[in-house]
Structure 1
């Protein structure tokens, strides 16, 4: 997974289908009534009770049609090949996705982009070496991962991509100085400055462990300190459950073996680095590669922890503090300095930069009443290798959703809004495909996208998008084989629904994103290209990117507007391997408390997947989800075999989700979310939840700010937002004529514009101009996490009082903008 030019669209979240909310929910968020367009004949008149019965029948048909067997089959097929973005296999996968979705009855288009990608040398591996004073070789890394006898011998291991860090520069660097910098966070570097002189880091090489923050930020921070080379490794304390390593790692478990190495992109923005803000079309000017400000300038390479041990034992210096100590026994972790015995360390990298063509795949079910409003379900289909988890899981679910929705259409289901299934390219390289798409179609997406999940004839154009990326660094059975498998199943099920004459109110798009692994390239390019239409039409994006890491609990990332909607969906879907609903499971793990959001929901989405473009460019209200285990090790933030060649179908089938019940549950959640968002007449967005999120963010921000900072204007704006949201909901409940399509359309447009009101068209800063959401966006030093009030908190870290006050005033303005959106549309009122 990757993130940061920060576009919108989330990738492999196939955790999707059950978001529907059948029955009567509390207040208007109970989905007041289904669209009156789901009957076989639009001329046929039905009573309210008949409409509800018809809608519930379609809902139940949808839920019953989601097949764990189909998802398993999708994932098995996906993880038989490698999925590196920009390759022939990647192109063939895009064509295969398009063919499958057409077979389910979807209207399919392919969107190509020519983007800058990075590849290791096919013959010469990148290596780390140690030399003695006479230039004799003392140690050399292997430059590859081990293949085990238990692995499926039919897999094309000859196509595996050797470990490398995409976009890092090629060349050879050598130094006698080597420092250990823990996780290479900004705090780690600042602490190291208290131990030694900052100048000592100049022209040195550092070694640090994966975890805590995005790998690209580690390299970027090191570059600012004058470092000439970075060595990354996964420390045993983060990827192995105990010191007794034998028989506890792959191929006997989910934990990383001693030569395991996490691939990934080092790009710290999302999308194509040569065409920032614009789609990578043939007519677009490209910034020269030389001195490109977005590309890393130093050499970097990962190694296995067996090899890291060889290096750490040759370091000298003072012992580190306790929380810098890793999991090696009989190894003294030191800050470093000169290597022992006058040794020198060398990194040799043979990476190349190449402009390659990637292909996003979009499958649409056109809305019957509001075809110009889109709900999107997306997953990227690229992976570093086999990608069974990242993002095979999302792609497999994406296919199943397309199948089932296609079946609904054959049963005469007609959705109110358009539903789009998105298969994004080049996500792993930097969220490239989805961002390019949003950039290209930003204007229509900004006004038409209702929501993105990361998996009316009166007015045309509202879309619902479902997406997963289909590339992988290796086989990708988890990333993103899981998302790809579910993506396929969703396409199958929705295709089946169409054959039953189902017609959605809004258009439904299935998206298969390319080149996600390189940095969310495919989806970003798509968003860049269509930024104008996506910005106006997308209702919501539902993302599927590594939707299954475990089977214990489901966690969600979302816009606060979707909080209540997500709760109600969770009540409708059975949790895997239990007789509980997902909501009941949450309550049980929350000591019986019903307020489950604080523990299982994350407000705001980061830039780590294909929802990035939709968050930051199209500014739609989006949703992503994942099943994981609570017992996974702490600091890495993901599964231990992330982006290794061991992400195979065998890993998923034997160790993670043997009966594929977890994939099935996620498909139901995402699918029901899409089903509801496309068909419900009044969008289930609650602006009062955004007020509570703003209150929480202000409390947190004040706790880290200097006492002299004046937050009065921001506090007043948040209070005024509460009043506006409360009055808005009251007007809906008391005065809205839901039988009047114009009134319903006006209210829905107001709800869609709340998220968009927080978007700064100038970007959050000069160095982060692709990040535009003023409430939630990544910080400068970690693109993995969404930070609340990002510009204010970045200014607080800089201790720049003037800039802090300036950023507070800017955020206050955008909250005022959201208030005006919620006001009665018949006049423009001044906010004091």
Structure 2
């Protein structure tokens, strides 16, 4: 996944970093680590110093070159070789290693045609040419072509319509202008949502085909020099990617909820719920330009216009396109590498650390930059074990296959071992892409204090102070008001809520296992996402040339694993979780009021006919229909549940601080409750229309994909104006929050006794 950050004004940034570093110097040399008895702090600090001493940038570089040296998509020879190579390393280091194989739906194209048939003729090249100085770009014969995984087969011809990002709001804009996409082929630009939403929404509006192009304003020459001069997307580069309807369920489309083993029952591929309903294909901006240039119809709104040297029109009219796609609809093997180091005191409590190893082509950035850091963590921890240390809890390192098509490797493994994982996993720590820049973290907010403490203790490779200090400085300069207050007043940063897009999804949102997603980024030039040019040569020039941030990621990830392994009291803290969930309930309340106001205003404008375009008051919208009034939605059960949660969280956090030096039996009893508390936030019935997603606080949005929807069952019912559903879901979500509060109360009682 890509993490994009804006550059900060240099002088202001340095001022804040220096001030925070100075503040840090005023603190005790070795501040407490929550969850550790005072008598064990020095030993833990020493363990982490010895871990750091083991880390090697030379290993990171060598493994990046080895793993990303050739195309290695799921089912490819180099993909299997990479799995075997990593398994061999992990065995050599002393881990118990298994390669788990799953057979997953992995169709690749046999036919790809995009043609402009009117008013002129043009055939898209659909190729990524070789670039001098880039070794991987010479291996096009080994690479997957540019395509969207899980597109439908199709041979369609129709008028073209430009739909901006192709999200629901864009179609509402088109409808207000009297533009109907029924029977048309739409062209959307990447961005604004996860790519799979674009053909999904297009099909819902009657389109017969979908093209997705890379707009140079977003990741091409509108951002800077293009590859190979700079790092941004060049004119013939196209973004491969899955378009499965992952907000319904991730993983193998043919085996939802069960592992894709050889024995699994599979329906005809046409029956898979998450396949697109229309053909869809990604194209470069070189191939998109003739199509967009030929479009007629109204001029696109200002916000819809890109950086191509044309006037952007909406269509339909003039431009007519032929799109033909066919796929082989085969199964392919996915190879997950699972390495285990058994715990000595609590072997049935597992700490799981993962990253995926498959790529669309060579994937030096996505995912190999993160994978090599996880490997180096595993090696350094193994060196500690060889020197006589053994983990208290069992450590599991995972290299997932087939993440790119839709989180297949991780999801199938989680479904295969759901009962054991639900009973034993303390937390899951994920990474994906990595590059130079700022630390970022998302995940369960019960782990927010935990990750803040780790970031405080890891030095930034390029500036004075820690990676946490640097992130705090950035937050103070450009964060939200609440994030700025937290950073300034409490020296803590917020972690984001997780939607989807990487391998934490089955752990967190299916099983309710507390999870984190960690990495660095924001200062690289990365326009080559999911293209053949995401190569070692590109990465070394434009992403993390000296692998300094790969080493920083290893330091962060290693500390996360070691602290979860060794803690006397597992380092969960629930006050921030209660605060954040309370803020989500407040957002629900504000959403109801906003919907009421918007509905009133909308119906007033329908009645008096005052729908006009802000940019051109003389041009009128097509009159929309009147909206039904927003009824009263009783949200008191949510407010009551949050209040109980706040009280329980304060009680537990206070008890945890007081009891960490207490009897081991009390700590063990509390630990057994604490690490399973997140499970209480799940419901077996899952979310409406998508039961695979069980978590009631975090989920990918039905129409955002990667983007998170918090309290999704209630929020999305309101957004879709499904009032009866909203009324039904409020008490169900409140019950989940009450269960969560009850588990926290039980853990507090164990400590207080």
TM range, normalised to the smaller chain? 0.7 to 0.9
Contact 1:547–1:625 (8 Å) recurs in 2:
no
The answer to whether the aligner puts 1:746 opposite 2:669 as a matched pair is yes
User: Is the strand fraction higher in 1 or 2?
Assistant: 1
CA 1:609 to 1:590, structure 2 compared with 1: closer, same or farther past 3 Å? Answer: closer
Residue 128 of structure 1 pairs with residue 147 of structure 2: no
Q: CA deviation at 1:290?
A: 2.4
Matching residue within 301, 305, 319 for 1:325: 305
Query: What does residue range 328-367 of structure 1 map to in structure 2 within 5 Å?
Result: 328-329=308-309, 331-339=310-318, 344-367=320-343
Contact 1:166 1:429 in 2 (8 A): yes
Corresponding position of 1:824: 746
Q: Counterparts of 2:199 and 2:492 in 1: how far apart (Å)?
A: 32
Match of 1:530 among 376, 395, 417: 417
State TM-score, norm by structure 1.
0.78
1:825–1:748: structure 2 CA closer, same or farther, 3 Å change rule? Answer: closer
Q: Secondary structure at the match of 2:694?
A: coil
- Answering whether residue 489 of structure 2 is matched by residue 565 of structure 1, we say no
Report if the CA contact (8 A) 2:69-2:136 is conserved. no
The residue matched to 2:422 in structure 1 has which SS? coil
**1:214 matches 2:138:** no
CA drift of 1:613 comes to 0.5
Q: 1:194 aligns with which of 176, 195, 215?
A: 176
RMSD: 2.3
Q: Is the 8 A contact 2:437 2:524 kept in 1?
A: no
Question: 1:716 pairs with 640, 645, 663, which one?
Answer: 640
3-state SS, counterpart of residue 227 of structure 1: coil
Whether the 8 Å contact between 1:233 and 1:305 is mirrored in structure 2 is yes
Residue 283 of structure 2 aligns with which residue? 303
Equivalent position of 1:170 in the other structure: 153
C-alpha distance in 2 between matches for 1:603 and 1:583? 15
Partner of 2:386: 410
1:169 to partner: Cα distance: 1.6
Give the structure with the higher percent helix: 2
Q: Which one of the candidate residues 614, 627, 631 is aligned to 2:507?
A: 614
User: Is 1:268 matched with 2:245?
Assistant: yes
**Structure 1 residue aligned with 2:732, among 782, 788, 810?**
810
Q: Deviations over 1:287-319 (max 9, x none)?
A: 221233221121111111012110011111011
TM alignment of 1:651-666, pairs within 5 A: 651-666=538-553
Q: Secondary structure at the match of 2:274?
A: coil
- In structure 2, the partner of 1:143 is 126
Between the aligned partners of 2:215 and 2:121, the Cα distance in structure 1 is 22
Q: Which moved more, 1:728-737 or 1:776-785?
A: 728-737
1:557-615 alpha-carbon deviations (Å, 9 max, x no partner): 12101111111111111112223211221233244868339996443212210001001
TM-score, length of structure 2 as denominator length = 0.86
SS at match of 1:640: coil
**Pairs aligned (count):** 678
Equivalent position of 2:51 in the other structure? 62
Any unmatched runs of 5+ in structure 1? Answer: 3-20, 35-47, 432-520, 633-638
**C-alpha separation in 2, matches of 1:279 and 1:579:** 47
Q: Does 1:249 align with 2:206?
A: no
The offset of 1:372, in angstroms, is 0.6
1:734, CA displacement in angstroms? 4.3
Matched, 1:728 2:710: no
Q: Which of 46, 65, 68 is the matching residue for 1:76? A: 65
Are 1:96 and 2:85 counterparts?
yes
Partner residue in 1 for 2:135? 152
Pairing 1:786-801 to 2, within 5 Å after superposition:
786-801=708-723
Q: Residues 348 and 641 (structure 1 numbering): CA distance in 2 closer, same or farther, change over 3 Å?
A: same
Instruction: Assess, with a 3 A threshold, how the Cα gap between structure 1 residues 626 and 55 changes in structure 2: closer, same or farther.
Output: closer
Q: Distance in 1 between matches of 2:269 and 2:636?
A: 46
Structure 1 residue 216 displacement after superposition? 0.8
Moved over 6 A (4+): 825-828
Q: Given the alignment of the two structures, is residue 757 of structure 1 paired with residue 680 of structure 2, yes or no?
A: yes
Q: How does 1:498-513 map to 2 (within 5 A)?
A: none
Once the two structures are TM-superposed, the CA of residue 52 in structure 1 deviates from its matched residue by 4.2
Offset, 1:630: 6.2
CA distance, structure 1, for counterparts of residue 419 and residue 80 of structure 2: 27
> Would the alpha carbon gap of residues 590 and 225 (structure 1) be closer, same or farther in structure 2, given more than 3 Å must change?
closer
Note the C-alpha offset of 1:238.
Answer: 0.3
Task: Decide whether aligned partners of structure 1 residues 585 and 173 sit closer, same or farther in structure 2, where only a CA change above 3 A counts.
Answer: same
Distance apart, 1:541 and its partner CA:
0.9
Higher relative contact order (CA 8 A, sep 6+): 1
- 1:439 paired residue number: none
Q: Partner of 2:34 in structure 1?
A: 30
For structure 2, list consecutive stretches of 5 or more residues without a partner in the other structure: 3-26, 478-483, 597-631
